[in-house]
Structure 1
Amino acid sequence: MTGKHNRRRLHIGMTVILLLPLLGGCGLMKSQHQQANQSVHQPSEQQRQQVKLLNETAEELYQRMQKGDVDGGRVVLQQISDQVTQLPFEGVTSVEGMNAFTETISQAKRVLTSVSADPGAGQVAAAKIRLAADALTHTSQPMWLQFYKQLQDDVDAVEQSAKTGNRSGLQDKVQHLEQHYSTVHPSLVISRPAEDVEKMDSLLTFVKSQSFGQQAPFRNVANAVPPMRQMLDKLFMKRETTAYLPYPEQQNPILWTIGLGSFILAALGFAGWRLSKKNGGLVPVRRGDESEYRQRS
């Protein structure tokens, strides 16, 4: 038995010795891969200057539209479009962020080139571009963080309308929430993981579909409010949270109970994993009056 035990220990020891170089190599490869990713995601000095110029041009567009100078706004918007085509986005934002920014510019062009250009719609379009350009420039303290209270107030108003059972009032509050959220949406896509933004998009789509649907929407909308608040907290870096989708009322209570139990277990497991990976959040720094860039209802 002793000889057999010694042979087993020798076998384990040899296995460990053989695995150590492989493990070290894997660690080295992982370290090199991380360093490569970090170098890829660091914008060059030329990119920083281009983004800075883009941000300044976006500010000029916003100021012109605030003054009602639609013709001047068209000229500046074309300058922004030209600057974007010359800006390599790799290292500045994700593919989703790049697409969101270019689509925002396209939407603004459609608004400003309309025969009967609406100055109010032009101001909103300019605000979206202004916030998006600032998100590219100031990755840690972007101006769109100042919209947190506005969106939370909108969610509170939606919840209150759902509690009172006022369908027309609920639809009105949901539209306000959608309008304000759309103002910062391009900036969110630029600054935050796409999956987090998609979760918030899904929640808002769910609430809107329920509010304008045929059946009584109030309980389902009320169920959606807590996860909406949690996702806003996560997107605005207020605190770590586990986001989940709201659930509509089910016809079969037994199946719903089983499904809910499974969901809770999955959510708890995901929350435990998030806690093990938890990092410190960002502290927003305000620059200017948030109301200046807030869309008027």
Structure 2
Amino acid sequence: MKKVIVLFVVIACLGAALYMGIGRRVAESPPPVIGQTQSVYQKMDGLSEDVYRLAKEGKYSEAKKQLAELGMLVAQAKPPKGLSLEAVNALTDTVIKAKRAFASVEAEPNRLIWHALQVRLTIDSLTHESEPLWKNYYNSYQEHINKMMLLVASRKQNEFARAFTQNLQLYQTLKPAMSIHTSAQNMEALYSVYSFLIQETRKQDYNWDGITNALEELNRQTQIIFLGKEQSTFGLGIPPQSPILIIALFASCIVSGLGYFAWKKYRAENEGRKRERDG
């Protein structure tokens, strides 16, 4: 039994050391470098943050000036290596539309904040490839899909239309940022789903079966785009580097080992008692 305890302690220590080592490497890893224009994109990132902050504070004229400077940098900067044509167009189009909104005579404050947020998320996606801000909206996106699924099941047409409108607004906000590091194929699949749902919500009578299929595809694409793969068989949404998952894996190894030693001990005791009875 002492050997089992020693083995348990050794495995636990190895697991803790491995996890601490992984966390240290992740913490010490430098941000991704984007060619020779890294300093330009870092400046763009700071400007986009200022634009969003100023817009939320109601300082629209100051935000407009920062946005104009950001627009000049976007026009002059060399696109990052590997960026698709669709992503380049999404980036420039987002900045251009935001500049037009801020130049409007009667611009709505909420609309300006929305454009500022869209610009912020898109620029951030250029400089933070591993953990961009737009991926923080995964839970909200998933909640929208779950809610729409329930409304489809209950055939509540008006409520579904409102829920879909909310999700569509979120999709339109994140779309430019998504396109930076999402394949054109996945973005096209997402566009097709939303095109179908938009058409259906304009009809008097919904094709509920078609909507159900579209939402299932939307859920699948959401897993791929936000998580980088389809939903895990664990069904818990735990990332591979999660300490919970690492601990669970080590625990399963320990339980298996303890179970094996317990079985051997039980078998040895049974054989001993049998020999005593035969003797």
Q: Quick check: TM above 0.5?
A: yes
Note the C-alpha offset of 1:215.
2.8
Establish whether residue 48 from structure 1 lines up as the match of residue 38 from structure 2. Answer: yes
Give the alignment partner of residue 50 of structure 2, picking from 52, 55, 60.
60
1:100 paired with 2:90, answer: yes
2:181 maps to what in 1? 191
In structure 1, which of residues 146, 152, 157 is the aligned counterpart of residue 147 of structure 2?
A: 157
Alpha-carbon offset, residue 99 of structure 1: 0.6
Out of 202, 210, 221, the position equivalent to 2:200 is 210
Q: Which amino acid aligns with 2:59?
A: D
In the alignment, structure 1 residue 115 sits paired with structure 2 residue 105: yes
Q: Hey, what's the Cα distance between the residues in 1 that align with 2:38 and 2:131?
A: 16
Contact 1:64 1:70 in 2 (8 A): yes
Residue matched to 1:71? 61
SS at 1:236's partner residue? helix
Equivalents in 2 of 1:84, 1:200: separation in Å?
Answer: 26
Unmatched tracts of structure 2, length 5 or more: 1-32, 232-238, 243-279
**CA distance in structure 2 between the aligned counterparts of 1:201 and 1:69, rounded to whole angstroms:** 34
Report Cα offsets for 1:255-293 as digits up to 9, x if no partner: xxxxxxxxxxxxxxxxxxxxxxxxxx9879xxxxxxxxx
Match of 2:211 among 204, 211, 221: 221
Q: 1:283 and 1:183, CA in 2 relative to 1: closer, same or farther beyond 3 A?
A: farther
Whole-angstrom distance in 1 between the partners of 2:240 and 2:182: 12
Post-superposition Cα deviations, 1:12-36, rounded to whole Å, max 9, x if no partner, equal xxxxxxxxxxxxxxxxxxxxxxxxx
Q: Is 2:114 the counterpart of 1:124?
A: yes
Deviation at 1:128, TM superposition (A): 0.7
Between structures 1 and 2, the one with greater helix share? 2
CA distance 1:96–1:238, shift in 2 (3 Å): closer
How many corresponding residue pairs? Answer: 203
What SS does the aligned partner of 1:96 have? helix
Q: 1:238 deviation in Å?
A: 4.9
Higher relative contact order at CA 8 Å, sep ≥6: structure 1 or structure 2? 2
Amino acid at match of 1:69: K
Considering only aligned residues, what root-mean-square deviation do their CA atoms show, in Å?
1.9
Give SS of 1:195's match.
helix
**Structure 1 gap segments, 5+ residues each:** 1-41, 242-280, 285-297
TM-score normalized by the length of structure 1? 0.65
**Which residue type is aligned with residue 224 of structure 1?**
A
Match for 2:191 among 163, 180, 201?
201
Aligned partners of 2:224 and 2:53: how far apart in 1? 31
Q: Secondary structure at the match of 2:106?
A: coil
CA distance in 1, matches of 2:71, 2:82: 17
Q: Which residue of 2 aligns with 1:166?
A: 156
Distance in 2 of aligned mates of 1:95 and 1:213: 34
Among candidates 230, 233, 236, match of residue 220 of structure 2: 230
C-alpha change, 1:151 and 1:283, in structure 2 (3 Å) is farther
Closer/same/farther in 2, CA of residues 110 and 92 from structure 1, 3 Å limit: same
Query: Structure 1 residues 92 and 179 mapped into 2: Cα distance closer, same or farther (>3 Å)?
Result: same
Residues 167-226 of structure 1 show CA distances to partners (whole Å, capped at 9, x for unaligned) of: 211111111010011111001111111111110111111112112223333222122221
CA distance, structure 1, for counterparts of residue 229 and residue 240 of structure 2: 9
Percent sequence identity is: 23
**Local SS of the residue matching 1:88:** coil
Residues 207, 282 of structure 1: alpha-carbon distance in 2 compared, 3 angstrom cutoff: farther
Does residue 1:137 correspond to 2:152, yes or no? no
CA displacement at 1:92 relative to structure 2: 6.0
Equivalent position of 1:176 in the other structure? 166
Q: Please state how far the C-alpha of 1:90 moved relative to its aligned partner.
A: 4.3
Q: Structure 1 57/92 Cα, relative in aligned 2: closer, same or farther at 3 Å?
A: farther
Counterparts of residues 12-27 of structure 1 (less than 5 Å): none
Look at both structures and tell me which one has the larger radius of gyration over its CA atoms: 2
- The letter for the 1-side match of 2:72 is D
Cα distance in structure 2, aligned partners of 1:238 and 1:137: 18
Distance 1:117 1:282, change over 3 A: farther
